[in-house]
Homo-oligomer: A and B are copies of this chain.
């Protein structure tokens, strides 16, 4: 199995995106990580541990699932890839497991990471507890206040939770805090990337670990006799998006659609559509598309789906969009909420608001297609974490 780096034009670069824009002290740490991952990936023993945990701990493989009633009339069939049916953090667990195993293999006794929606935190805390690694998680105050069950779960898994009161008090500030922590402790502590974001080799490592989604989906679609016209995924950190797309990127006939958060949708209001409206910049370690003003200051982002509200994008995805292989769509808060609610009531499946964006986009795409065509929607996690936003008691 090649790593996702084989898709990169040069090591650490996807087209002109990517690289290692970090404090120089981190360069040797990244170099060691790069080598260690390559060695681990070539080692059947690592794959054995990884696959065992992917099955026992994460709950893979996850099924695909065709909706029945949720489908506009005379529109395409909608098939969900159900990573909501994984444990402890949705698809984030895919990469947390691999990175924690790698940390153990490298002789590190601790991991640190950041979390926005709480899922990467829960995933990493659970795996770290399981592998006996110390674990520190940073989370912005605003996110923590909105996701109190996640906060408690992280603490129950024995992790140290650092609540970040700085900057946007959300994911971006948490990431900065986690990287600072790592900089000070890189001899003993691995940084666990929640997304294929940041300096090389993180985008490659995470995309390689998440590629399991695309491999499974591809086989399952073949098994079901379905040839998809389009695959849609909402882009937060991009881990599920690249995970899914990686299985289909070499089929030029299949459309790959990255769905971004449009926020409230009101003119001028903040959003998180950086693949569509962002500019080339350098953020959190990589050259990529970012939402920034003309002085390079990051713009505030907003979305009802906390996991989508991030100003940077995965360099690999930035390259796929710039090169035209991936197209983008923007879905606003209201459309996503409505899609999640209708799917729950109509199918008994509760997906997260992030996936709601992809679902709403799939309805739009599906209306342009014939009823026998198939569109696949990535469901990165369950909607349990969003219940308070989805249903307010009167």
Using CB atoms and an 8 Å cutoff, list the residues of chain A in contact with chain B: 55-57, 59, 63, 65, 68-69, 84-85, 87-88, 125-132, 148-149, 151-153, 155-158, 341, 344-350, 382-384, 387-388, 390-391, 393
Question: Within the complex, which residue of B68, B158, B341 is in contact with A345, where a contact is CB–CB below 8 Å?
Answer: B158
> Could you say how many copies of this chain the assembly holds?
2
Query: By the criterion CB–CB under 8 Å, are B65 and A156 in contact?
Result: no
Residues B152 and A388 in contact, CB atoms below 8 Å apart? yes
Name the contact of A153 in the complex, choosing from B59, B88, B125, B387 (C-beta under 8 A): B387
Question: A96 to chain B: closest CB distance in Å?
Answer: 10
| Complex interface: chain B residues within 8 A of A384 (CB) | 149, 153, 384
Chain B residues lying within 8 Å of A393, measured Cβ to Cβ, are 148, 151-152
Set B130, B156, B341: member contacting A341, Cβ < 8 A? B156
Contact A348 B126 (CB under 8 A): yes
Having A59-B85, A130-B349, one finds 11 other A-B pairs with CB under 8 Å, namely A59-B59, A68-B130, A84-B87, A131-B348, A152-B388, A152-B393, A153-B384, A153-B387, A156-B383, A157-B345, A384-B384
A-B contact list, 29 entries, CB within 8 Å = A55-B63, A56-B65, A59-B59, A69-B132, A85-B87, A88-B348, A88-B350, A126-B349, A128-B348, A129-B345, A130-B348, A148-B393, A149-B149, A149-B387, A149-B388, A152-B387, A152-B391, A152-B393, A153-B350, A153-B387, A156-B383, A156-B387, A156-B391, A157-B345, A157-B350, A158-B344, A158-B345, A158-B346, A384-B384
Assess the A129–B348 pair: CB atoms within 8 A. Answer: yes
Name which of A55, A57, A156 has the most chain B CB atoms within 10 A of its CB. Answer: A156
A-B pairs with lowest CB-CB distance, top 6: A158-B345, A129-B348, A126-B348, A130-B348, A152-B391, A156-B344
A157 contact set on B, CB distance < 8 A: 344-345, 348, 350
Q: How far is the CA of A139 from the CA of B166 in the complex (A)?
A: 42
| B156 pairs with A350, CB closer than 8 A | yes
How far, in Å, is A124 (CB) from chain B's closest CB?
Answer: 10
Closest chain B CB from A152 CB (angstroms): 4
From A125, which residue of chain B is reached at the shortest CB distance? B348
CA distance A153 to B149 in the complex (A): 15
| Residues of chain B within 8 A of A155, CB atoms compared | 391
A390 in complex: contacting residue of B152, B158, B387, CB < 8 Å: B152
Contact (Cβ within 8 A) A57 B390: no
